[in-house]
Chain A
């Protein structure tokens, strides 16, 4: 569904991603893991159209995304849950969710999607009139994911799912993410917590200083001595 080939991208003259190949299939959960500064966020920003690719191709459902603006990418069905949640703190939870549906014009459709998102995260319905900036860390991550889902995406890209969250908050999120995935949304998951990411995902990629150095099934990656040594400290 998403096919990235030979991608080179960066900021100004700094090249961050060098020749990256990565794929996400329909209804798949794929983890992309790597150390600080490996270029994970840059990859997502390039897919979203915030960063322009220098070379290579990004194809989503047979459409070339290179050079598209973020608005067009969202409209095609890719939602980006940014690193650090990035909620609009001065807007209410409900307003944040509606911002997620900004490219959707059909009001009935937006309303239906709101109901669906609330069924995934009932707590957000209770908090809908509260300012998003006043939510707890776990609720903020829920709200940020929910905001992404409001775009009715086929692919949900989550940057740093577990960062700054208590283990319990992460545990609560995982079943919901599986449910969202079962309902037909592919997920590309970035995390520094390799264990969590690979437990949730079907497949994974390891990104090191802008290159994919390993890929494979989650179980295989978790079992690999290289991953265990570098990322799990075992």
Chain B
């Protein structure tokens, strides 16, 4: 019983991070119809920014979150304006190839500059934990869980309650009509991509405190983001949250049952199963409605 509850707690805590990681990916895919492979590298860059700021200057990882978000916001904006804009409206795979190319550059650059060493970010409170009877809640996991939820909430509020957020949603639903209303689509796209990158970078900073930081770390998070999207539906922020939590739970329970060797396989299996049963995602359909 106690062990079961512990697994659920662990699953939910990790799920919050997955949700946050999947958020930006979902936003970009849903609004711009782009599968952004560079999303994984963005998470990696966010994690490195936090690692270096912590390692070199001793800055608390949580404090570095806005820094890595702002940095990747600017990089994302530039990447969209300069590169991705040129291939919009082209076939879907063009965007995949382009963002895959960018990923290769970023990952290799990271290898070159920072080596392939496994790094970890251990703030002083990394070893703290809260004990509730037989249950243990690692303090750091709880903090990044809460921070992930805050980031998600921030995005939901932005999309739901601001003029620009409304324009992003309208553009997602009907680009041509949004343009008729005076929305400058290219700017909205650049902003959407930049926001997606910023959220991914923020997630990366948080992830860095819980996982190993290395140049190739983005791959598994890209896959996870994909799964979160498929569960939750595209461009649907609430769905990303549910998708992340579901995925975190399934993965944690799967590992407990089948052993840690199956961790990444579980993501694939979940992906295939959901695509077979509900190709539009568990919560997806409503959000394509005109």
Contact = CB atoms under 8 A, between A and B. Distances in A.
* A is bound by B: yes
B240 to A, nearest CB: 16
Interface stretch (A97-105, A162-170, A211-219): A97-105
A77 to B, nearest CB: 12
Contacts of B166: 91, 95, 98-99
A147 to B, nearest CB: 8
A233 B51 CA distance: 77
Given A82-B177, A98-B163, A99-B167, A89 B182 contact: no
Interface of B: 163, 166-167, 169-170, 173-174, 176-184, 286-287, 289-290
Given A90-B169, A91-B169, A95-B166, A74 B290 contact: no
8 contacts: A70-B179, A88-B169, A88-B174, A88-B177, A89-B289, A90-B173, A102-B163, A151-B182
B170 A99 contact: yes
B31 to A, nearest CB: 12
Given A90-B169, A90-B289, A50 B180 contact: yes
B169 to A, nearest CB: 6
Interface of A: 48, 50, 69-71, 74-75, 80, 82, 86-91, 95, 98-100, 102-103, 133, 147, 151
Nearest to A69: B184
Given A75-B182, A103-B182, A151-B182, A89 B170 contact: no
A82 B290 CA distance: 14
Nearest to B287: A90
Most chain B CB inside 10 Å of its own CB: which residue of A74, A87, A88: A88
B15 to A, nearest CB: 26
A111 to B, nearest CB: 13
Given A71-B179, A99-B167, A102-B183, 12 more contacts: A50-B179, A70-B179, A74-B181, A86-B176, A88-B170, A90-B289, A90-B290, A98-B163, A99-B183, A102-B167, A102-B182, A147-B181
A23 to B, nearest CB: 22
B155 to A, nearest CB: 17
A102 B181 contact: yes
Contacts of A100: 181
B180 A80 contact: yes
A75 B181 CA distance: 9
A86 B181 CA distance: 11
Contacts of B174: 86, 88
Contacts of A75: 182
A71 B290 contact: no
A70 B180 contact: yes
Contacts of A90: 169, 173, 286-287, 289-290
A81 B70 CA distance: 39
